[in-house]
Amino acid sequence: MPSSPSLLPTPRSEGCTLAGALSVAAAVSDGLTVVHGPAGCAHHHVSLLLTTLLDQPGARMPTLLSDDLCEQEVIFGGEGTLARALDDAVSRSPGSIAVLSTCVAEAIGDDCEAVVTRVPDSLPVVVIPVGGFLGGGFLEGERTALQAYGRLASRLPVSERSDEPVIALVGEKNLEFEADTHADELGRLLGLLDLEVGLRFIREAPTSELGLLPGADLLVLREPALGPVADRLPVRPGTPLIDGFPVGLSATIEFLRAVGAAMNLDADSACEIEIAHQETVLARFAGLAGSRVRLPAGAGWLAELADALDLVPAPDGVPLPVPEPAPVGTAGISRLLSRWRRAL
């Protein structure tokens, strides 16, 4: 039984599981999310989405319904209320429906899986159980949602696909300000190998596109922490996997080599182009050479970057900002160096 033995402050990644799950479900572009719980749970997370998405150009506000569980539903069970909310959801003709449970719904034992059987078979529906009191946090909610959509993807009709291989980005951080920028950078890197992103699982993907997942030729996880999710995704046995977006100079080159190896492509030419590109970027910041700087310990990619720029790590150096999550690819390095230049 999960329990919380201490009142230690929790990192941001350990927030509410519902928020993590919602960050995935709300990113299905034609999807509708039903939050099975008190209205406050939905309201709180709509506020979170609003404030986050306002920073993202062209962001779409997701469609969210709360079935507004109150004391009566807690006492008598909330399955009837969920059923009515589902009828409302169906009448809005979404591409798919996600039902997210909450602490209250899980505590009183409502059976969401049983209730969603009322949804017509033609309308894909996914149940994501996210009682926060059961343990885990934002990341756990994100993982649970990705796994649930993975199961859904295996039930969807096989999507029409071109002859191009499908490279799937898995688990993009949808609340991250630079989520699309990172995806664009991966697209640029893949383009060096004449490849492209075939599926963003899940970011602004319509339901029908999720059906591409089982046939994916390569999975690129946003971060290694999503490894347990990848193990459960319904892909063909032996589907190659890269366990994180590239962070750092050499990691970006290694990413190209890993993609090349996974797709049976010669990556030498792409690597040469990218190395030359990195040298060009570094040259733009050559004026930073010799600066005494202070960087967080333990990140090899930062030490590598400092070395490439001839920065001088010193305890009394200027503290340099390093965003979390770390910037992706060479474009990320370029943006980071612009910030460093301002700091120096």
Partner 1 sequence: MKQIALYGKGGIGKSTTSANLSAALGESGRSVLQVGCDPKHDSTRMLMHGEPLPTVLELVRERGATGVALEDVVRTGYAGVRCVEAGGPEPGIGCAGRGIIATFQLLEERGALEADVIVYDVLGDVVCGGFAMPMREGYAEEVYLVTSGELMSLYAANNIAKAIARLAERPRCRCRLAGVILNAKGIEREEELVTAFATAIGSRLVAAIPRDRVVQLAELHRQTVIEYAPDSTQAGVYRQLADDLLRTTDRAIPVPLTQDALESLAFAHAPL
DSSP string, 142-162: HHHHHHHHHHHHHHSPPPP--
Q: Which of 30, 53, 59, 77 binds partner 1 (CB under 8 A)?
A: 77
Judged by DSSP in three states, 219 sits in strand
Cβ of residue 75: shortest distance to partner 1, in angstroms? 4
Cβ of residue 117: shortest distance to partner 1, in angstroms? 16
Distance between start and end Cα atoms, the chain: 51
Cα atoms found within 13 Å of the Cα of residue 47, Cβ hemisphere only: 6
Question: Tokens representing 86?
Answer: 């589902």
Nearer to partner 1 by C-beta: 81 or 96?
81
Which listed range, 10-18, 106-114, 214-222, 223-231, lies at the site for partner 1 (CB under 8 A)? 106-114
Question: Tokens representing 91?
Answer: 């009448």
Nearer to partner 1 by C-beta: 75 or 158?
75
- CA 240 – CA 233 distance, rounded (Å): 12
Please answer whether residues 29 and 206 qualify as being in contact, where contact means their C-beta atoms are separated by less than 8 angstroms: yes
Cβ of residue 314: shortest distance to partner 1, in angstroms? 57
Q: How many residues bind partner 1 (CB under 8 A)?
A: 13
Phi-psi map region of 36: left, alpha, beta (phi>0 left; psi -120 to 50 alpha): beta
Closest CA to 21 of 174, 169, 123: 174
Q: Which phi and psi angles does 341 have, rounded to 5°?
A: -65, -40
Which listed range, 19-27, 30-38, 74-82, 242-250, lies at the site for partner 1 (CB under 8 A)? 74-82
Provide the mask over 171-210, with x wherever binding to partner 1 is found by CB under 8 A and - wherever it is not.
----------------------------------------
Nearer to partner 1 by C-beta: 71 or 121?
71
Q: Which of 107, 276, 314, 343 binds partner 1 (CB under 8 A)?
A: 107
Q: Does residue 71 interact with partner 1 by CB under 8 A?
A: yes
Cα–Cα distances in angstroms (integers) from residue 279 to residues 118, 282, 326, in the given order: 59, 5, 20
Q: Does residue 74 interact with partner 1 by CB under 8 A?
A: yes
Which listed range, 10-18, 102-110, 115-123, 286-294, lies at the site for partner 1 (CB under 8 A)? 102-110
Nearer to partner 1 by C-beta: 7 or 75?
75
Q: Which of 1, 7, 75, 297 binds partner 1 (CB under 8 A)?
A: 75
Those residues whose C-beta lies under 8 Å from the C-beta of residue 194, and which sit 6 or more positions away, are 265
Which listed range, 38-46, 107-115, 139-147, 270-278, lies at the site for partner 1 (CB under 8 A)? 107-115
Q: Does residue 1 interact with partner 1 by CB under 8 A?
A: no
Nearer to partner 1 by C-beta: 107 or 276?
107
Nearer to partner 1 by C-beta: 36 or 222?
36
Cα–Cα distances in angstroms (integers) from residue 61 to residues 27, 51, 54, 94, in the given order: 9, 11, 9, 14
Site for partner 1 in 120-179 (CB under 8 A): none
State the residues that interact with partner 1 by CB under 8 A.
71-79, 107-110
